[in-house]
Amino acid sequence: MLWTPGLGLDNLLLTVGITVVLLVLGRRAHVLDAGGMLAAVVLAGVVGGLGHWTWLLLLLAFLASSHLATKHRFDEKAAKGMSESGDGSRGWTNVVANGGWPGLVVLLAFLMDGHAPGLWVFAAAVAVATADTWASEFGCLDDRVWMITTMRRCEPGLNGGVSPWGQGAAFGGAAFIALLSALVAVLTGNVLSWVEPVVVLAAGFLGCQLDSVLGALLENRGWMTKGTVNAASILMGAIGAAVVVGFP
C-alpha cells in the first residue's frame, strides 16, 4: 500500500525514485560531495525503505533548506571564513553527524513495529539538525552575538555564540520540520493532535540551544568536534521526544 511503512513494494519503489532524484539534483546543485552523496544514498535507503517514503521527504527538506541557507550570502561568509566548504557542498561526515541518529530511530521503529510514535522521534531529530544548521548559516551574518554560557559579547561564528538572527532561524527551522511532520502524519493516517508537532518544535529549538552550550563548553576546548556536537544534540532532542511520545 502507498501509505504503509516498511518493506512494501510501493514504498520501496517510491524510495528508489526519490533517491534517484536526490542523486541527480544533488549532483547538479553541488549539495554534497562524492562521499556525501554515497552516505546520503545509504541513509535514504534506510529511512525510506525501513520507514516510509514520506519520512525521506522530511530528510530531503532538511537537506534542501540547509543548502539554500548555506548559499545565502555565500560570498560574504566565505570572505569571513565562515563558509561550509569551498563551494558550499557537504561531505559524508556531515551526513553521518546529522543523519545517523535519525537513521537509527527508523531502524528501531522498523524492528519494534513502532512507526506511529517513531515518526515524531525521527522528526524531532531532523528538527534539531535543521534548527542548528539554519541558526549557524543565518546567525553568522549577524554581528549582535553573545556567548550562550556567559551572555557576554563575542565574535560572530564562534562556537556557542547566539544572535537574534540565529535564534529566529533556529525557531523557524524547527517549526518548518514540525509543520511538515504534521502533514506527513495526516497523509499516512497517523494519530495527530497539537501535542506531537509542538514536541518536534520544542525538541528542535532546545536541541539547537544544547548544541551551542556544548560548542561553548567542549568544542572550543577541543574536547568535541563540530560533528560530535551535532550528533550529541540531535541524540538528546530525539531522546526527549521519545520520552514524551512513548517510543519505542
117 neighbors 195 (Cβ within 8 angstroms): no
Distance CA 157, CA 142 (A): 9
- The answer for residues whose C-beta is within 8 angstroms of residue 43's C-beta and 6 or more apart is 59, 95, 99, 102, 103
Asked if the structure places residue 2 within a domain, the reply is no
Asked if the structure places residue 94 within a domain, the reply is yes
pLDDT confidence of residue 164: 96
Q: Render pLDDT for 86-117 as a digit per residue (tens, 0 to 9).
A: 555 678 888 898 999 999 999 999 999 999 99
Q: Mean of the per-residue pLDDT values for the chain?
A: 90
- Banded pLDDT at 2 (limits 50, 70, 90): low
Residue 203, pLDDT above cutoff 90: yes
C-alpha cell at 158: 564562534
**Structural domain harbouring 156:** 9-245
pLDDT confidence of residue 32: 81
153: left (phi over 0), alpha (psi -120 to 50) or beta: beta
Distance CA 171, CA 135 (A): 8
Asked if the structure places residue 1 within a domain, the reply is no
Read off the amino acid at residue 148.
Answer: I
Q: Render pLDDT for 48-73 as a digit per residue (tens, 0 to 9).
A: 999 999 999 999 999 889 989 988 88
182 neighbors 66 (Cβ within 8 angstroms): no
Residue 166, pLDDT above cutoff 90: yes
Q: Give which of 167, 168, 140 is closest to 155, Cα–Cα.
A: 140
pLDDT confidence of residue 204: 98
Distance CA 129, CA 27 (A): 22
Distance from the first to the final alpha carbon of the chain:
24
Asked if the structure places residue 3 within a domain, the reply is no
3-state secondary structure of 159: coil
pLDDT confidence of residue 88: 56
The total domain count for the chain is 1
pLDDT confidence of residue 83: 60
Residue 30, pLDDT above cutoff 80: no
248 neighbors 109 (Cβ within 8 angstroms): yes
| DSSP track, 53-119 | HHHHHHHHHHHHHHHHHHHTTHHHHHHHT--SSSSS-B-HHHHHHHHHHHHHHHHHHHHTT-HHHHH
pLDDT confidence of residue 25: 76
- Banded pLDDT at 234 (limits 50, 70, 90): very high
Distance CA 195, CA 52 (A): 22
pTM of the model: 0.93
Q: What is the arithmetic mean of pLDDT over 179-197?
A: 90
Asked if the structure places residue 49 within a domain, the reply is yes
- The answer for residues whose C-beta is within 8 angstroms of residue 71's C-beta and 6 or more apart is 88
- Banded pLDDT at 36 (limits 50, 70, 90): confident
Range of 55-64, 136-145, 173-182 with top mean pLDDT: 173-182
Asked if the structure places residue 163 within a domain, the reply is yes
Distance CA 155, CA 8 (A): 51
Q: What is the arithmetic mean of pLDDT over 124-135?
A: 97
| Selected residue with higher pLDDT from 80 and 135 | 135
